[in-house]
Chains A and B, each alone.
Chain A
Amino acid sequence: MEHQPPPFFKRGPAPVALLSFYVALSVALLVVDARLQTLEVVRQALSLFTHPVQQLAQLPLQSLANAGDYFVSVARLRDENAQLKQARLDNVTTLLRTQQLEVENERLRKLLGVKERKQASGQLAQILYAARDPYSRRIVIDKGQQDKVAAGQPVIDDVGVVGQVTRVFPFVSEVTLITDKEQAVPVQIVRTGLRSVVFGLGTGQLELRFLPANADVQNGDVLVTSGLDGIFLPGFPVARVVHIERDTSYSFARIFCMPLAGVENFSEVMILDPRPAVALPPQLANEPVGREAKPQVRKKRMKKE
């Protein structure tokens, strides 16, 4: 019979074995999450446990904000009220005319046989906090699966585009800001109608890429969504051009923009309803299948070689 150690020395698996097991598990999680993006369900399930703790951690800040609201003086509120009334009166002419113009536009579009522009609608949400991750620019808002928020919905505030919903949890959802390094928005320059794509830089600024050095872009140009992506409705302000570097040794100009919306501020935002997918004509719908098939054949040939 083999010698058995007394139970006093039984300490489970060796530390190095445990270490390699847990490291392998974490690395597997990392790779699956970074490359395959299939762990959303796991995230949602785990967030059910972390959400109450997070809510608890938000309490002190919320109670501070509430206390601040409570002590706002009546005089300031009256001032603000007067200002808002003034602003409403100022805007009322444009607003009334816009309604009439929208109806007229719709009718003219019908006459021309162009597709109607979709009306923007959505739901209000409150920004809870900015995500702690220092590598990405994301915010968390207080609407989730319970309110039928879906990943991909655009998010705007009262001035312009803020970002896009990228992850949905049961009670909250994560919005990737347009200034995030991995976020791109198809835009159009209002003055010239030039279409391009604006990319986040991760520093709070945006960059218009792949425009030739002689492109007609000026400081102060306003960019609005072009709507070509099928996600953002066309016409929402995104950014303003602040700095242009034209170096003839490069083929592209470097164009830096600042976001118009209060992207990094805490306030309320509007989650726009997703745009209905545009149905492709049958010829086009069949075509990509054929195109996809070709590279696969090529790959197989490469493998044989």
Chain B
Amino acid sequence: MQTSYYSPARILLPVRPWFIGFSLLVTLLLNFLPASPWPGLPDWLALVLVFWSVREPRRVGMGLAFLCGVAMDVADASLLGQHALAYVLVAYGGSSLSRRILWFPLGQQALQVFPLLMLVPLVQVAVRIMAGADFPGFTYFFGPFLSTLLWPVLTFLLLLPQHQPVDRDANRPL
């Protein structure tokens, strides 16, 4: 039953694994952009990891999150394991909450996802302060807010390849 175009109850095609990998690679690229003058930009990779761990908890799990985190650590000149720890925790949270989150309409989904996205900088700040760094300032926590606002847009974009054409048959309305 195809209720409406944007409804969460819309029947989708199964996800293609290469598309998950491709989206993760693209967000890794986005994260590597030289954006150090703007610390408030969202962590794209974390956002997409949360998305897939909520949507496809059996395909995107903690193993993939760990690999992505280590890649970020190596490229980011940070402590090895800092991003990995945050991403693993978030992937776990996403997959264990996925049954609940998907039940809501998109706006409320974003609110449910916000604590998960906030966990990423919080874990990293905790780790770095324990290792002896200074508090980096509040702009660092601005990213999750932006990510939350982007959640509906991201859901639409990432689910586009799974959409079926809406074909209305006059003879068979159901």
Q: Which residues of A contact B (CB under 8 A)?
A: 11, 15, 18-19, 22-23, 25-30, 32-34, 39, 42-43, 46-47, 49-50, 53-54, 56-58, 60-61, 129-136, 138, 140, 167, 174, 181, 202
The reply to whether A26 and B84 contact each other, CB–CB distance below 8 Å, is: yes
Which residues of the other chain, A, contact B34 by a CB distance below 8 angstroms? Answer: 57-58, 61, 129-130
Restricting to B11-70, which residues have a CB under 8 Å from any CB of A? 25, 28-36, 39, 58, 61-63, 65-66, 69-70
The reply to whether A22 and B76 contact each other, CB–CB distance below 8 Å, is: no
The reply to whether A27 and B133 contact each other, CB–CB distance below 8 Å, is: no
The reply to whether B80 and A134 contact each other, CB–CB distance below 8 Å, is: no
For residue B148, CB closer than 8 A to chain A, the reply is no
For residue B127, CB closer than 8 A to chain A, the reply is yes
For residue B108, CB closer than 8 A to chain A, the reply is no
The reply to whether A54 and B75 contact each other, CB–CB distance below 8 Å, is: yes
Q: A50-B32, A132-B31, A136-B78 are in contact. List 8 more A-B contacts (CB 8 A).
A: A18-B92, A25-B84, A26-B88, A27-B81, A29-B81, A30-B80, A46-B71, A56-B29
For residue B169, CB closer than 8 A to chain A, the reply is no
A203 CA to B126 CA, complexed, in Å: 20
Known: A26-B84, A26-B85, A29-B81. A43 touches B58 (CB 8 A): no
A140 CA to B77 CA, complexed, in Å: 9
The reply to whether A136 and B82 contact each other, CB–CB distance below 8 Å, is: no
Which residues of the other chain, B, contact A202 by a CB distance below 8 angstroms? Answer: 134
Write the B114-158 contact mask toward A (1 if CB under 8 angstroms, else 0): 000000000000011001011011001000000000000000000
Nearest B residue to A203 by beta-carbon distance?
B134
Which residues of the other chain, B, contact A53 by a CB distance below 8 angstroms? Answer: 25, 28-29, 32, 75
Q: Which residues of B contact A (CB under 8 A)?
A: 25, 28-36, 39, 58, 61-63, 65-66, 69-71, 74-82, 84-85, 88-89, 92, 95-96, 127-128, 131, 133-134, 136-137, 140
The reply to whether B136 and A22 contact each other, CB–CB distance below 8 Å, is: no
Decide if the interface of chain A is mainly helix, strand, loop or mixed: helix
Which residues of the other chain, B, contact A27 by a CB distance below 8 angstroms? Answer: 81, 85
The reply to whether B92 and A19 contact each other, CB–CB distance below 8 Å, is: yes
Min distance, Cβ B29 to any Cβ of chain A, angstroms: 5
The reply to whether A50 and B85 contact each other, CB–CB distance below 8 Å, is: no
Known: A19-B62, A26-B66, A132-B36. A33 touches B79 (CB 8 A): yes
A34 CA to B85 CA, complexed, in Å: 14
Our pick among A22, A47, A135 for the contact of B78 (Cβ within 8 Å) is: A135
Known: A11-B58, A50-B71, A61-B34. A133 touches B77 (CB 8 A): yes
The reply to whether A34 and B131 contact each other, CB–CB distance below 8 Å, is: yes
The reply to whether A129 and B80 contact each other, CB–CB distance below 8 Å, is: no
The reply to whether A25 and B66 contact each other, CB–CB distance below 8 Å, is: yes
Which residues of the other chain, B, contact A130 by a CB distance below 8 angstroms? Answer: 34, 36
Which residues of the other chain, B, contact A140 by a CB distance below 8 angstroms? Answer: 77
Min distance, Cβ B72 to any Cβ of chain A, angstroms: 8
The reply to whether B89 and A132 contact each other, CB–CB distance below 8 Å, is: no
A136 CA to B132 CA, complexed, in Å: 11
Our pick among B29, B82, B89 for the contact of A30 (Cβ within 8 Å) is: B82
The reply to whether A135 and B128 contact each other, CB–CB distance below 8 Å, is: yes
Min distance, Cβ A285 to any Cβ of chain B, angstroms: 33
Nearest A residue to B39 by beta-carbon distance?
A134
Nearest B residue to A131 by beta-carbon distance?
B77
Which residues of the other chain, A, contact B92 by a CB distance below 8 angstroms? Answer: 15, 18-19
Known: A23-B89, A26-B88, A27-B85. A133 touches B62 (CB 8 A): no
Min distance, Cβ B157 to any Cβ of chain A, angstroms: 20
A133 CA to B82 CA, complexed, in Å: 11
Nearest B residue to A48 by beta-carbon distance?
B74
Known: A33-B81, A46-B70, A56-B29. A132 touches B88 (CB 8 A): no
Min distance, Cβ B104 to any Cβ of chain A, angstroms: 22
Most B CB atoms within 10 A — which of A22, A32, A33, A61?
A22
Which residues of the other chain, B, contact A22 by a CB distance below 8 angstroms? Answer: 62-63, 65-66, 84, 88
A138 CA to B12 CA, complexed, in Å: 46
The reply to whether A18 and B84 contact each other, CB–CB distance below 8 Å, is: no
Most A CB atoms within 10 A — which of B61, B63, B81, B95?
B81
Nearest A residue to B81 by beta-carbon distance?
A29
Min distance, Cβ B40 to any Cβ of chain A, angstroms: 10
A204 CA to B22 CA, complexed, in Å: 38
The reply to whether B32 and A174 contact each other, CB–CB distance below 8 Å, is: no
Our pick among A18, A25, A30 for the contact of B61 (Cβ within 8 Å) is: A18
